[in-house]
Amino acid sequence: MAEVVTAEELQGRRLLGIDFGLRRVGWAVCDELHLSVTPGGVLAYDAPQFWETLERIVHTERIEGFVVGVPVGADSPRTKPVVVALREFVMQLRKRFPQPIYVYDETGSTRRAQEAMRLLGVSRKRRQQRGRADRVAAALILWDFLQELHTWGEVQSEELG
């Protein structure tokens, strides 16, 4: 059953936006007032210290909730392995962290991140550096979540099926 979260529930909470990938996980944070989103960085998902590093980020940034992007309606053979791994990732998050986890539609976030960097004048060479789009995509996922929250007063968390 999809969970609905309200603006009142998240008021004053710092959130961590996550753009999950099989190799890299981009992350971004928002302030307590939900006025700004800052791209954080990129973690190697297959690194032995991945979970310890994520725990350190959650502690350092005083995170009180996660917004994890999921490609909604992506049933292609190309995205299926990502969605399967994403389900496992979210299960691990739930086991390791007491903070609530909201799964949010990230469809097109990487493409939008590339376009945003292009519009900001980031050179093609820098746009193609590993991880650069992942952290911007994480920021866009979190920003979109917050915009929906402010516009409608609530957001429905997606189901991972």
Give the number of residues written for the chain: 161
The token pair at 103 is 């799964």
> Residue 101: what pLDDT?
95
Q: Considering the entire predicted model, what is its pTM?
A: 0.86
- Is the pLDDT assigned to residue 94 strictly greater than 80? yes
Highest mean pLDDT among 3-17, 110-124, 133-147: 3-17
Residue spans of the domains in the chain: they are 11-70+83-156
> Residue 136: what pLDDT?
84
* The CATH fold of domain 11-70+83-156: Nucleotidyltransferase; domain 5 (3.30.420)
